[in-house]
Amino acid sequence: MKDQLDALLNKDMDRRNFLKHVAFGFATLTGVAGLLKTLTNMDRQQPATSSQFGYGGGSYGGGSSRDLRS
């Protein structure tokens, strides 16, 4: 790994190639970080939402017609 890094640092390159290498490194780091974040959040369960707070849960919110026949 150290030899590869030394070879990359000692390589002659113009600005365009340098920017390509930097962009590739940045995309790799952010992609790996996002992947790790996604994988760690998969273990946590999403909280269950109550029908009381969802659409149709209130007194004006789309109850069935059976509820209105009292």
11-58 confidence digits (pLDDT tens):
899 999 999 999 999 999 899 888 888 888 876 666 555 555 556 655
In degrees rounded to 5, what are phi and psi of residue 58? -85, 180
More confident residue, 19 or 9: 19
Q: How far is residue 62's CA from residue 39's CA, in Å, rounded to a whole number?
A: 38
Q: How far is residue 54's CA from residue 48's CA, in Å, rounded to a whole number?
A: 11
